[in-house]
Amino acid sequence: MKPKLVSINEEIVRWSFEISVNRSNDWFIAFTNPTAGPWKRITAPDNEGKIGEIHRFEIDETRPDLILVNDKMQHVLIIEAKTTFNDLQKPAQLMKTSQLFESLAIKLRNMANNNFWGSRSNYEYSLGLLWSSGDESKSQILETCQDYLKRIAGLTKDIICIQGYVENELLKSKVYKAISGEILKLPN
């Protein structure tokens, strides 16, 4: 018997977004952080398309949920995913995510000599927030993203929002810059 989806959580929104990313020609997933399994490494292709390891997270090291890379736009997205926007608003989460973004962005920017990362160290690095759409208002989103931006202002200019939602039984994602409102050419 085929079951029906009765609740959406962080993992499902993230998964459906990842499928869209995998269909994109421009973006690739350098890291994903599911609950278990062989996924503890940031990887990327070198100039010849050979995929190699950039960084391996320790078992108890704080990890982001997703890292996406676009070589054409020279853009790296470090993404925190939560089931609801409310989870992203909590002060402790704000602190944790900002600190993680800062340390990881600095780490990746200092990897110019890595064969598999190399010139990506000079890309633009942005923090992405991914959640399953609920009753959060535009002003709430803007206000929270401004709070995030205050903490990481020296490292990025905007926050990328990835808002998962259901339309005609299909899971979709709306992707935009929080401050400027620009819709991004990310899979959606």
Partner 1 sequence: MPTTQKVAEYNLWADSFHEGEWACRNIAREIENQGGSFQVQYDQGFIPAFSFKIDNLEIRVHVYGNYGSWSPKPKALEDLLAWGKPDLVLINDSNDEILIAVEETAATPTGNQALQRCERQFGSAIEGFPFWYLISEFGLHSDGGVRRDSVWPSLMGLEIMTSLEIPSIVLHYSDLENPEDYESGKGMKSLFRIMMGVLINSTNGAEPMSGLERELQSQIDEMTKFIDLTATNSLYFLPESESSKKEDLTKKLCATGDLRSSHRKDRENYLIWPLARELNALQQGEQSSRELKKHDPFARELENSIDKGQSYGIIRGSGSKPQKEDQMKTWISQQNSLQITWEKGVDSKYEEAFRLHLKDFPKSPTGYHVITAPRILYLFDDFRSVINCLSRSFPDLNYKSLLNIDSPSLVYISNSVKPGRIFGDPYTGQIAAYATSFGALSKGRKVLAYFPHQSVAQALNNFDNPSNKGLRIMKELTDYLVFGGGITLDMKTGEVL
CB of 120 to partner 1, least distance (A): 24
CB of 65 to partner 1, least distance (A): 11
CB of 56 to partner 1, least distance (A): 9
For partner 1, the closer CB: 53 or 182: 53
CB of 180 to partner 1, least distance (A): 27
For partner 1, the closer CB: 2 or 50: 2
For partner 1, the closer CB: 84 or 121: 84
* Chain centre to alpha carbon of residue 35: 16
**Binding site residues, partner 1, CB under 8 A:** 1-9, 11-12, 15-16, 19-20, 32, 34-40, 58-60, 169-172
Cβ of 139: how many Cβ atoms within 10 Å? 8
What is the C-alpha R_g of the chain?
16
CA angle 156, 138, 162 (to 5 degrees): 55
Contacts of 185 (CB under 8 A, 6+ apart): 26, 73
